[in-house]
Structure 1
Amino acid sequence: MQIFRCPACAAPVYFHNLACSCGQQLVFDPEAQVMAAAGATCGNRADIDCNWMAEADGLCRSCAMTETVPDLREAMNLPLWQTSELAKRWVIANLGRWGWFTRADPGPRPTFRMLSEQTLAGQENVTMGHAEGTITINVSEASDALLAQRQEDLGELYRTMTGHIRHEIAHFLFLRLGQSDAFLADFRALFGDETTDYAAALQAHYSDPRPADHDHITSYATAHPHEDWAETIAHLLHLVDLIDSAAAARLSLPDGVVPGYDAYADPDTDTVISRAVDVSIAVNHVNRALDLPDVYPFVLPDGVRRKFAFAHGHLRLT
């Protein structure tokens, strides 16, 4: 993510900021990818600290995609929804740098159902997923305590709200890209036939999960071509944003990024990924000094990198 500038005093401001320390009220313009002086603000600004510019019907580009909100009669759901929407805005802003969901993008947008396991009527089961353009997100996992428990129970220490949204929106991106026969032919050559029985594949995976291997970034990616694609996209987005954020913060290594480097504008997948890995290894070393987890604890063999390159080429609309 970029580090922005206050339109009044030019001080650094960050993606979540509602105001600068100079007192200037801020609004994020996702089309221009800048922080502007607050004008037409999203209708959800007061409730969930949404700092985006209003577009249609008084809502911002991101909030307009949310069809269902959690049961706000349950008091704890408001901060969980707030945290989840911030993660969604982050992902949508990143994708906007490649041309997705911008004014120039004629394609459909995803619809989000932001649900909680806790409702006034009692506990409900919420399954995250994507179905025909609708993405369901369990905002309960925005709770640090619940997230830590599920990371431990499921053995998914990289399970995060931003990661969930990147994974599920990847399924929607496939829905759009899959309208092209040429894309599908190339996809199947790398990922396999996505028309194979999905339910049976998941059942087989949960009965006897395979480990990540030369061609699959995670164990879950081995379950089915659709999940391989979603995991590949999520990790590609992790890594591009990692090196973009490092460049914005002026973190670098010898022969690494230079000031002004734009990871989203770089068409060379290997360069982007290799630079991200180099920075992650350095930050891993720093984290270990504080007994903190590795920032990116994954190995990227050649088969996975080939899938990154394919996905990177198709996601860059601009």
Structure 2
Amino acid sequence: MRLYECDHCGQTIHFDNRTCVNCGQRLAFVPERLAIHALSEGEAGRWHLMAAPDHVVRLCANEHHDICNWTVPAEGTETFCVACRHNRLVPDASTDEGLSQWRHISQAQRHLFYSLLKWGLPRTTRNEDPDGGLVFDFLVDEVKPDGTVVPAMTGHEDGLIAIRAAEADDVTREKVRVSMSEPYRTMLGHFRHETGHYIWDKLVRDGNRLDAFRNTFGDERADYGEALKRNYEEGPPTDWQEHFISTYAASHPWEDFAECFAHYIHIVDTLETARAFGMVVDPRGHDDLTSELRFDPYRARNAEQLVDAWVPFSVALNSIHRSLGVPDLYPFILTPAVVAKLQFIHGVVHGQV
């Protein structure tokens, strides 16, 4: 994620900022420019970019709930931004719990869409593609008459992504993470993983890449239901760490792809953030852990370039976390087999496969 600068006063600003902390100017992310801009108010809900006054926008319709800080072109017919227009079922903003959930969910969703926009990846709506367009349902848990709570399920099917809204709450999500023995579980991780299934549909299945996919990930025609059942009942293969980024990735080629897609974005976007802050890893006497980002991670040559930069950063960040007594930031191992899968993802994202 980049750092930005207020067009009005030059103050450093961040991706989620609504107003400049220095001058108080209204800020918004303008998707067609992939940047945060200071705005000056015009007439009838129209706003002018201070850096380009002829560029006129309107705020996303979710702005009034303080849910979204993105814009839409002033002359268009859309009322929701390029991220929010994919939402179908959303939390109840009339309740404190629902509003809090929606704000946390939207923050993660906008971080996902930043990456999709940077790469120009598919993001068709259901209006454009009724059978396979990307659409999100943020589902509430079912409470039975006796008070028993039935958790909503997170998953994907033909472009429909369902995400359990309750996991916007840190306590709820952490309970699930511990109960499932997962080293990492975040709302942003859900978005990136589940969207990986949609990207597989559009760029692998429909993109004439199935043979290349099967050579790298295995045959996705293996029974999916049986694979998941076996994973939950028996666990992953004993040597899973040599071949997979996570135990869930070991369950089926579809899940392997989705997990690797999520990790590819984790790595790229975190490296962009490190580059924006001018971070360098250069431990004295440990040249194998040296890393300086002299390239744009979103335009990396290949996955190897990304991994070579990422490993020193992840080791340093994990060590810092341990010094604070908190879990590792990135508790995963990038083996040669996993790097080969990340290279396939890289090729799909950049149209090189």
> Would the TM-score normalized by the shorter structure come out above 0.5?
yes
For the residue of structure 2 that corresponds to 1:44, the secondary structure is helix
Does residue 210 of structure 1 match 2:240? no
Equivalenced residues, count: 315
Q: In 2, distance between residues paired with 1:37 and 1:109?
A: 32
Q: 1:73: Cα distance to partner? A: 5.0
Aligned match of 2:277: 249
Structure with greater contact order relative to length (CA < 8 Å, sep ≥ 6) = 1
* Aligned-partner SS, 2:119: coil
Contact 2:134/2:161 (<8 A) preserved? yes
Q: Spell out the pairing of 1:1-318 with structure 2 (5 A cutoff).
A: 1-21=1-21, 22-38=23-39, 39=47, 40-55=58-73, 56-72=77-93, 74-101=95-122, 109-117=133-141, 123-180=149-206, 182-211=208-237, 212-254=240-282, 256-258=291-293, 261-316=295-350
- Determine the C-alpha separation between the residues in 2 that align with 1:61 and 1:317: 22
Unaligned segments of structure 2, at least 5 residues: 40-46, 48-57, 283-289
Give SS of 2:280's match: coil
CA root-mean-square deviation? 2.3
Q: Which moved more, 1:219-228 or 1:42-51?
A: 42-51
Q: Tell me how far 1:43 sits from its aligned partner.
A: 0.8
Deviation of the 1:287 alpha carbon: 1.5
Contact 2:293 2:309 in 1 (8 A): no
For residues 307 and 179 of structure 1, the distance between their equivalents in structure 2, rounded to whole angstroms, comes to 16
Q: Which amino acid aligns with 1:46?
A: H
Letter of the structure 1 residue corresponding to residue 191 of structure 2: I
In structure 2, C-alpha distance between the alignment counterparts of 1:126 and 1:57, rounded to whole Å: 30
Shift of 1:124: 4.7
Q: Return the offset for 1:119.
A: 7.3
CA contact (8 A) 1:118 1:124 kept: yes
Please say if residues 300 and 306 of structure 2, whose CA atoms lie closer than 8 Å, have aligned partners that are also in contact: yes
Aligned 8 A contact 2:281 2:313 in 1: yes
CA distance in 1, matches of 2:166, 2:351: 33
| 8 A contact 1:73–1:119 mirrored in 2 | no
Superposed displacement of residue 91, structure 1: 0.8
2:308 counterpart letter in structure 1: S
Question: Under a length normalisation based on structure 2, what TM-score does the superposition of the two structures give?
Answer: 0.83
- State the AA in 2 paired with 1:49: I
Deviation at 1:292, TM superposition (A): 1.5
SS in 2 for 1:214: helix
| CA displacement at 1:125 relative to structure 2 | 3.3
Question: What does the per-residue CA deviation read over 1:257-311, in whole Å, with 9 as the maximum and x for residues that have no partner?
Answer: 346x421011221111221111111111111111111111111110000000011
- Kept in 2: contact 1:18–1:49 (CA 8 A): no
- Relative to structure 1, the CA distance from residue 78 to residue 140 in structure 2 (aligned partners, 3 Å threshold; closer, same or farther) is same
- Give, as a single letter, the amino acid of the residue that structure 2 aligns with 1:88: Q
CA distance, structure 1, for counterparts of residue 264 and residue 181 of structure 2: 21
Q: CA deviation at 1:80?
A: 0.7
Q: 1:26 to 1:158 in 2, by over 3 A?
A: same
One-letter amino acid of the structure 2 residue matched with residue 86 of structure 1: Q
Q: Tell me which moved more, 118-127 or 221-230.
A: 118-127
Q: Report the identity percentage.
A: 32
Give the aligned residue type for 2:265.
L
Structure 1 distance, partners of 2:25, 2:94, is 33
Q: Is the 8 A contact 2:183 2:331 kept in 1?
A: no
After TM superposition, the structure 1 stretch with the greater mean CA deviation from structure 2, 226-235 or 30-39, is 30-39
Cα separation, 1, equivalents of 2:350 and 2:199: 12
Query: 1:221 is aligned with what amino acid?
Result: A
Residues 213-233 of structure 1, C-alpha deviations (whole Å, 9 max, x = no match): 222111111111100111111
Alignment-derived partner of residue 52 in structure 2: none
Q: Tell me how far 1:118 sits from its aligned partner.
A: 6.3
Relative to 1, partners in 2 of residues 1:197 and 1:120: Cα closer, same or farther, differing over 3 Å?
closer
Q: Secondary structure at the match of 1:57?
A: coil
Which segments of structure 1 move beyond 6 Å, counting only runs of 4 or more?
118-122
Q: How far off is 1:135 after superposition? A: 0.5
SS at match of 2:291: coil
Q: Which has the larger radius of gyration?
A: 2
Q: Indicate conservation of the 8 Å contact 2:314/2:329, yes or no.
A: yes
Q: Which amino acid aligns with 1:98?
A: W
Letter in 1 for 2:203: L
User: How much has 1:189 moved relative to structure 2?
Assistant: 0.9
Q: What is the one-letter code of the residue matched to 2:9?
A: C
How far is the alpha carbon of 1:168 from its aligned partner? Answer: 0.1
What do residues 54-94 of structure 1 show as CA deviations (whole Å, max 9, x unaligned)? 25531111000101112445531111111011101101101
Do the aligned residues in 2 keep the contact of 1:27 with 1:52 (CA within 8 Å)? yes
CA drift at 1:182: 3.8
Structure with the larger strand share: 2
